[in-house]
Structure 1
Amino acid sequence: MSNKHGHQARKRFGQNFLHDPGVIEKIVRSINPKPDETIVEIGPGLGALTEEILAVNPRLQVVELDRDLIPVLRTKFFNYPEFEIHEADALKFDFASLVQNGKPLRIIGNLPYNISTPLIFHLLEQAGVVKDMHFMLQKEVVQRLAAVAGDNHYGRLGIMAQYFCKVQPLFEVGPGAFRPAPKVDSAIVRLVPHETLPYPAKDLGTLQAVVRTAFNARRKTLRKALAGMVSVEQLQSLGINDGLRPENLSLAEFVQIADLVFDSKPAEQSGQEVSDD
């Protein structure tokens, strides 16, 4: 479906353009942009949100993959000489390179549903240079980000997001706010990186591996799900019931298990990356 700019929303980019002025205003109020901040928008689309942020912060930077949108944005915002467009894939983009004068980034975006999870993992890797993130996501993804132990939506995404950030679901947005209307409800979430990690792991790669392994067998008991990594005796030594399922364990308990695994394996196997595979 095209719009007044003649741009066809593309399925392969997962594009749904925001057009509801009331929703846009509510998002901007939630972000509360200031003129002197370094704000980065991912996937500006046709610039509905961009326009409102630029009015406050004329040095806004955007990351856009769809090269057909770039001339539309350049034309629409030609009177903002400091507005900068990075034609790039946000999944591979080095957001740390945008930090200026040591000011942490404020990252915003209506994230395409087909890349939202890997993109959040990519941004969590760079949480050290981020002040906060405000995203429009599928409602279910926001539920997964905010879920706590015992919830249906609890899993790797929520655990790793909460390892790095405080997660605050803000409000829901119906399909009618977009063109074309998606088949799902959306929601706005705020992610604020912790100044001090509440449960720092000795080795991030080990924590990732433990959480990934556990949730690959989420219906099994911990005894079975983590059989190759940790023994029943080791779990019991931490005071963790090996008959529980992965979804019953808190972030703190996963960190305890990961630290134990890390301490009992050869040093050269450790890794520090956050990955989503």
Structure 2
Amino acid sequence: MRDHETGGHRARKRFGQNFLSDPNIIRRIIDAIRPQPGDVMVEIGPGLGAMTAPLIERLGHLHVVEIDRDLIARLRETWTPDRITIHEGDALKFDFGSLADGPPGGEGRRLRIVGNLPYNISTPILFHLAEFAAGVKDMTFMLQKEVVMRMVAEPGTEEYGRLSVMLQYRFRMGRLFDVPPGAFRPAPKVMSSIVRMVPLPAEQLGATDEDLFGRIVTAAFGQRRKTLKNTLREFMDDVDFVAVGLDSGLRGERLSMADFVAIANHCAVRHRPAALPVRPDA
């Protein structure tokens, strides 16, 4: 790759940099995001600013999270602080909740998150972002198509797994359209897709113990060829499977997200520690 292919900036593999350059694709993505003046929006990995420029034009002001110091310098040369707020650092460690904080005693602002996510760390970023779902209005990302297919996969399909269940538990997912390798510089070796994630209302999140829910989902997909009787033996016995109405001979990929919630809630009640006796003189 020659430097001038990306405006003089050499894409760094360790940051998973592939810069979007097709104006038609950029326009289509921005139209899908539908940025509105007054939106509190943050772009992860603005890179050379292909999406940054039209976002700022429509929003007036944009937050960005960028780790590459050379790109940060370019952003500062291009836009003034009243147009862009640059958060220098790793998106995996960034507190996105800080941007959704409202005034003391008031309601928080609903954050919108967008970006061309680095493909080499896409799954960890998605799980990190899920932690801030309560303060988010929506998220629109470009990711490797293979990852997006796993995110939106249905039970019983090859792509269905832990990522599918954990994200669909917290978000309404939608794959919008594909982006070919030729839309980037340098061109990746894979097809990309645009995905939208809209947080579900708190009342629809049925797990009474979300940490337990996560551990059960992880265990169920830890050894995909084994049945639930084996993968969930730490949590369930034959009586438990009968109680929740599930066949222990199934594999995790056959269970719906609602099935996993039912298992987790059953286990939360069954394994809840007994209340300590109250002393008479307490």
Output the TM-score relative to the length of structure 1.
Answer: 0.93
8 A contact 1:38–1:100 mirrored in 2 = no
Matched, 1:222 2:228: yes
Matched, 1:75 2:81: no
Separation in 2, partners of 1:47, 1:87: 15
- Aligned residue for 1:258? 264
Which one of the candidate residues 31, 34, 48 is aligned to 1:32?
34
Instruction: Give the AA of the match of 2:68.
Output: D
Which one of the candidate residues 19, 22, 30 is aligned to 1:20?
22
Q: How do residues 105-144 of structure 1 correspond to structure 2 at under 5 angstroms? A: 105-144=111-150
Matched, 1:185 2:191: yes
Q: 5+ residue gaps in structure 2?
A: 103-107, 275-282
Q: How do residues 96-111 of structure 1 correspond to structure 2 at under 5 angstroms? A: 96-99=97-100, 101=102, 102-111=108-117
Matched, 1:42 2:44: yes
Aligned-partner SS, 1:143: helix
Separation in 1, partners of 2:82, 2:260: 48
Pair 198,100 (structure 1): closer, same or farther in 2 beyond 3 Å:
closer
| 1:35-56 C-alpha deviation (Å, 9 max, x unpaired) | 1110100000010000010001
8 A contact 2:6–2:185 mirrored in 1 = no
Separation in 1, partners of 2:128, 2:6: 33
**How many equivalent pairs are there?**
267
Q: CA deviation at 1:267?
A: 4.7
- Aligned residue for 2:94? 93
Instruction: Give the AA of the match of 2:271.
Output: K
Following TM superposition, where does structure 1 have runs of at least 4 consecutive aligned residues deviating by more than 6 angstroms?
none
Instruction: Give the AA of the match of 2:57.
Output: A
8 A contact 2:56–2:83 mirrored in 1 = no
- Superposed CA RMSD in Å reads 1.4
Separation in 2, partners of 1:223, 1:230: 8
Separation in 1, partners of 2:125, 2:47: 17
Q: 5+ residue gaps in structure 1?
A: 269-277
User: Greater CA radius of gyration, 1 or 2?
Assistant: 2
8 A contact 1:199–1:251 mirrored in 2 = no
Instruction: Give the AA of the match of 2:236.
Output: V
Q: How do residues 140-179 of structure 1 correspond to structure 2 at under 5 angstroms? A: 140-179=146-185
